[in-house]
């Protein structure tokens, strides 16, 4: 199909693509976005206000398909919005649980919303501890952009003067719950910071967006657009300019190039008709997520780019990094046992954080380099937590469930992996993605430094919980699967 030429083709419409589209359209450029999935209807596709009994399997999901779920976000409340059609593979010895939202605006539909600033402790980490290389930007260079984005999307938090994360421009924070004050008392004793989290969630109206209504179901989508997500914040602004065209259900096969090598367009498969199509532009922006962008570029082979577009360095797809998440400790607070229920779950685990406290003044203070953060949570959720102390059945059991309902707490670590030559993505020579492209193949294992953070976090969180007067019930056996 012959096609008009656009100024810019953008592959992907999420956090990166959405911002690019909005910015370019407002600057007067004609932009065409190519997106692998459909456009969601928030009123239909976001089931965040359904109660468990409104769902066929009460939120536990269809048992026959539960094993195919890509983790906790891919559940009955978000059925039909996560990608299951485009396949990827993992190399022997690698695991990769990859929840992909290829619907328009991608994972901004359901993201975790934590929006802290990085500081020079990260950008200049290599200079501090001698490992690897520094980022090519400094904090001072990037700080004005942080401010611009914070004003645009709205981030709730407080000024905290932490060396790990510079302060920004914030909306009022979420208030602390009972469990936060109790856990903070434990942190104070253990020398660990316990502060309001930094979240792109509106505690006040912003730029025409209504504030949060505290339903606590953010990871199943927000139908009022009260946390930053591209469908509410970016795409309407792009559409208003008249410069924007969106092509949905378009799985990119490759970036097309001219004889000299520069990109001139994109070839894609229309998922509904199965037809191959092309769209042309003066420039192409690949914003399809970390791994998928690498896959598209590796698949974009030509005479000029025999190993994939812009891969003359051989670094395309290399140095895959991830955050390790895991349950560092869980238990309950005896102080809250038997107390009235309290609306603890009003912001989906983003009330408080324990920002990095390791290796701050001395980069080699711990047995690992760099540092991690911890996200505490707990209290009354929709479903009660049943622990090993609730033996038996009958009225005593029923009462125990109610008594313990406000009391559970847990800690989730977020530990960055180190760059490694053995963690990368390439193309699987033997598997296809279902749309005629070579499937992306992932090679990834946690490095010893990241695993040392995981072990460290388990010790500290146990200590914090005990110092808060809590009962420790254990930690997860394993961190969550990477991906």
Cβ(103)–Cβ(111) below 8 Å: no
Which residue from 4, 27, 56, 132 is in contact with another protein, where contact means CB under 8 A?
56
Residue 471 is a binding residue for another protein (CB under 8 A): no
Among 85, 399, 422, 448, binds another protein (CB under 8 A): 399
Q: Does 429 bind another protein (CB under 8 A)?
A: no
Binding residue for another protein, selected from 143, 215, 321, 452, defined by CB under 8 A: 215
Q: Which of 146, 155, 148 is nearest to 212 (CA)?
A: 155
What is the distance, to the nearest Å, from the Cα of residue 192 to the centroid of all Cα atoms in its chain? 25
Residue selected from 323, 403, 419, 466 as contacting another protein according to rule CB under 8 A: 403
By CB under 8 A, residue 185 contacts another protein = yes
| Residue (60 or 145) nearer to another protein, CB | 60
Can residue 483 be called a binding residue for another protein (CB under 8 A)?
A: no
User: Measured from the CB of residue 57, what is the shortest distance to another protein in angstroms?
Assistant: 7
The correct pick among 343, 436, 448, 474 for binding another protein (CB under 8 A) is: 343
- Please report whether residue 145 would count as binding another protein according to CB under 8 A: no
- Near another protein by CB under 8 A: residue from 137, 151, 397, 455: 397
Q: Give the x-and-dash track for 104-123 against another protein (CB under 8 A).
A: --------------------
Contact string (CB under 8 A) for another protein, positions 362-391, x = contact: ------------------xxxxx-x----x
Q: Does 398 bind another protein (CB under 8 A)?
A: yes
CB-wise, 144 or 392, nearer to another protein? 392
Assess 175 for contact with another protein (CB under 8 A). yes
Interface with another protein, residue 209, by CB under 8 A: no
Question: Of the two residues 109 and 293, which places its CB atom closer to another protein in the complex?
Answer: 109
Q: Return the ∠ at Cα 419 (arms to 365 and 18), rounded to 5°.
A: 115
Q: Which residue number, 184 or 330, has a Cβ lying nearer to another protein?
A: 184
Region 15-54 residues binding another protein, contact defined as CB under 8 A: 43, 49-54
Question: How many residues sit in the footprint of another protein (CB under 8 A)?
Answer: 67
**Closer residue to another protein (CB): 55 or 126:** 55
Positions that interact with another protein (CB under 8 A): 43, 49-60, 62-64, 174-178, 180-182, 184-185, 203, 212-216, 223, 333, 335-347, 380-384, 386, 391-395, 397-399, 401-403, 405, 468-469
């Amino acid at each position: 199909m012959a096609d008009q030429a656009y100024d810019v083709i953008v592959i992907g419409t999420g956090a990166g693509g959405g911002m690019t589209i909005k910015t370019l359209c407002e600057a007067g450029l004609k932009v065409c976005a190519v997106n692998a999935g459909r456009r969601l209807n928030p009123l239909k596709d976001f089931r965040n206000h359904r109660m468990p009994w409104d769902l066929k399997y009460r939120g536990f999901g269809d048992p026959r398909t539960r094993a195919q779920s890509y983790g906790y976000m891919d559940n009955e409340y978000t059925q039909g919005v996560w990608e299951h059609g485009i396949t990827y593979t993992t190399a022997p010895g690698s695991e990769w649980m990859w929840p992909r939202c290829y619907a328009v605006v991608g994972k901004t539909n359901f993201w975790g919303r934590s929006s802290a600033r990085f500081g020079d402790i990260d950008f200049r980490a290599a200079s501090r501890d001698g490992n690897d290389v520094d980022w090519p930007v400094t904090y001072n260079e990037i700080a004005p952009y942080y401010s611009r984005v914070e004003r645009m999307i709205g981030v709730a938090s407080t000024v905290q003067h932490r060396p790990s994360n510079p302060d920004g421009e914030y909306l009022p924070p979420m208030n602390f719950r009972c469990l936060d004050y109790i856990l903070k008392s434990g942190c104070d004793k253990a020398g660990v910071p316990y502060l309001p989290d930094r979240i792109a969630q509106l505690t006040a109206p912003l730029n025409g967006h209504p504030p949060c209504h505290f339903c606590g179901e953010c990871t199943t989508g927000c139908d009022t657009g009260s946390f930053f997500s591209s469908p509410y914040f970016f795409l309407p602004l792009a559409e208003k300019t008249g410069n924007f065209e969106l092509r949905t259900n378009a799985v990119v096969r490759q970036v097309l190039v001219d004889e000299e090598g520069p990109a001139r367009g994109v070839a894609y498969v229309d998922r509904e008709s199965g037809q191959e199509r092309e769209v042309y532009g003066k420039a192409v922006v690949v914003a399809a997520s970390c791994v998928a962008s690498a896959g598209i570029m590796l698949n974009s082979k030509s005479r000029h780019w025999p190993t994939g577009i812009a891969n003359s360095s051989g670094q395309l797809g290399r140095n895959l990094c991830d955050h390790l998440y895991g349950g560092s400790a869980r238990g309950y607070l005896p102080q809250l046992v038997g107390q009235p229920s309290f609306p603890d779950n009003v912001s989906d685990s983003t009330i408080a954080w324990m920002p990095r406290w390791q290796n701050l003044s001395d980069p080699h203070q711990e047995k690992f380099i760099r540092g991690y953060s911890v996200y505490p949570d707990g209290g009354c959720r929709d479903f009660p937590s049943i622990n090993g102390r609730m033996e038996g059945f009958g009225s005593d059991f029923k009462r125990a469930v109610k008594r313990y309902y406000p009391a559970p707490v847990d800690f989730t670590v977020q530990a960055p992996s180190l760059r490694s030559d053995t963690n990368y993505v390439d193309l699987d020579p033997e598997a296809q993605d279902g749309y005629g492209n070579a499937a992306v193949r992932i090679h990834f294992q946690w490095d010893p430094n990241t695993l040392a953070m995981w072990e460290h976090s388990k010790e500290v969180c146990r200590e914090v919980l005990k110092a808060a007067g809590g009962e420790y019930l254990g930690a997860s056996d394993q961190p969550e699967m990477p991906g």
